[in-house]
Amino acid sequence: MTPIRPRRSALYMPASNARALEKARTLPADAVIFDLEDAVAPDRKELARDQACAAVRNGGYGAREVVIRINALDTPWGEADLAAVAQAAPDAVLVPKVSSAETLAAVGMRLRRHGAPERTRVWAMIETPLAVLKAEEIASSALDVDSRLACFVLGTNDLAKETRARLLPTRAAMMPWLMQVLAAARAYGVDVLDGVYNDLSDEAGFRAECEQGRDCGFDGKSLIHPNQIAVANEVFGPTPGEVAAARAIVEVFERPENADKGAVAVDGRMVERLHAEMAKRMLDLAEAIEKLGRG
Ligand SMILES: CC(C)(COP(=O)(O)OP(=O)(O)OC[C@H]1O[C@@H](n2cnc3c(N)ncnc32)[C@H](O)[C@@H]1OP(=O)(O)O)[C@@H](O)C(=O)NCCC(=O)NCCSC(=O)C[C@H](O)C(=O)O
Ligand SMILES: [Mg+2]
């Protein structure tokens, strides 16, 4: 089984912004995403590409997962982005506006051709109506023998643009699409991150959206500002109380007297072996987060 990689917080930054790339070495985000796509103006695309690749090569990001978001392959910059990124070998390349499994196959083929090491994974932006409709087909490409697909990232701004749905606090219009993508990701063992929250000054709204995303099952949230990291880390990480409860559930099934039982009562609640599996995962996540903190 692949070890758990905490992805509570994934901070985007325009790769044209040298100060942001530098600052990312000290920020407590689980992942940093150097953007070559929508956050970068057309006349700064080459500069952004060079700066992102140099930052990856120079390192200094510690245990943070380092990801570069390229421009789509059908844009004037996409092919050159992918060639350069393959050589720089970040932890992952994030592909925007993926609407079919073929796009991921094309990216995989190019990464191989350009000599990207196996450890460079592929993350896919799910942000078009077609991607939502074909989420299962796209996620299923994780089963291909040479697939590098590790994570979906929701692009809720592009989804709002393409569907004309409004980004309202409840996200009522988006919810069916978010859950369809989440189910597809889970069915094929792909991690999945929630979209960004644009209002930098609304901390309460941001926290509420993080909690909503966590309760839906997302692994973490994509972010746009350092001020959002602490809340995302807190909300998407297990609390000490949850860790203690998980430990109690795992321990109860380890007792010899429960060896032949499928269900027991813990603190007045029915607990089955599936709950012990969930509890074990939570403990593994807590341990991985603790290791990140020490790393
Ligand atoms: C939104 C911003 C342009 C605001 O920038 P700014 O006005 O400079 O913010 P501050 O003055 O509050 O910054 C304080 C310090 O923090 C650093 N900073 C700010 N943002 C970042 C960041 N994202 N990463 C790293 N460091 C950051 C500043 O440099 C200041 O540092 P210091 O010099 O020490 O004081 C800006 O936050 C920004 O550019 N955010 C990211 C925008 C982005 O990448 N957008 C693309 C991804 S979102 C998207 O496309 C999602 C998806 O595709 C969809 O469709 O939904
Ligand atoms: Mg987008």
pLDDT digits 0-9 by tens, 230-285: 999 999 999 999 999 999 999 999 999 999 999 999 999 999 999 999 999 999 99
User: And the tokens for 101?
Assistant: 């499994």
Please tell me if the CB atom of residue 287 comes closer than 6 angstroms to any atom of ligand 1. Answer: no
**Secondary element (H or E) of residue 269:** strand 269-272
> Backbone phi, then psi, for 179, in 5-degree steps?
-70, -30
Residue 35 Cα: closest atom of ligand 1? 44
**Is the C-beta atom of 14 inside 6 A of ligand 1?**
yes
Buried b / exposed e over 8-18, threshold 16 CB at 10 Å, is bbbbbbbbbbe
Measured from the CA of 195, which atom of ligand 1 is nearest?
A: 56
> By C-alpha distance, which of 165, 275, 290 is closest to 240?
290
pTM for the model stands at 0.97
Interval between CA 8 and ligand 1 midpoint (Å): 18
Residue 158 is assigned to a ligand binding site: yes
Distance CA 280, CA 247 (A): 8
Do residues 131 and 99 touch, judged by C-beta distance below 8 A?
Answer: yes
- Ligand 1: does its nearest atom lie under 6 Å from the Cβ of 38? yes
* Pocket of ligand 1 contains residue 156 by CB under 6 Å: yes
What is the Å distance from ligand 2's center to 294 Cα? 33
**Does ligand 1 come within 6 angstroms of the Cβ of 95?**
no
Domains of the chain: 9-236 (3.20.20.60), 240-294 (no CATH)
Per-residue pLDDT of the chain (295 residues; tens, 9 = 90+): 778 999 999 999 999 999 999 999 999 999 999 999 999 999 999 999 999 999 999 999 999 999 999 999 999 999 999 999 999 999 999 999 999 999 999 999 999 999 999 999 999 999 999 999 999 999 999 999 989 999 999 999 999 999 999 999 999 999 999 999 999 999 999 999 999 999 999 999 999 999 999 999 999 999 999 999 999 999 999 999 999 999 999 999 999 999 999 999 999 999 999 999 999 999 999 999 999 886 6
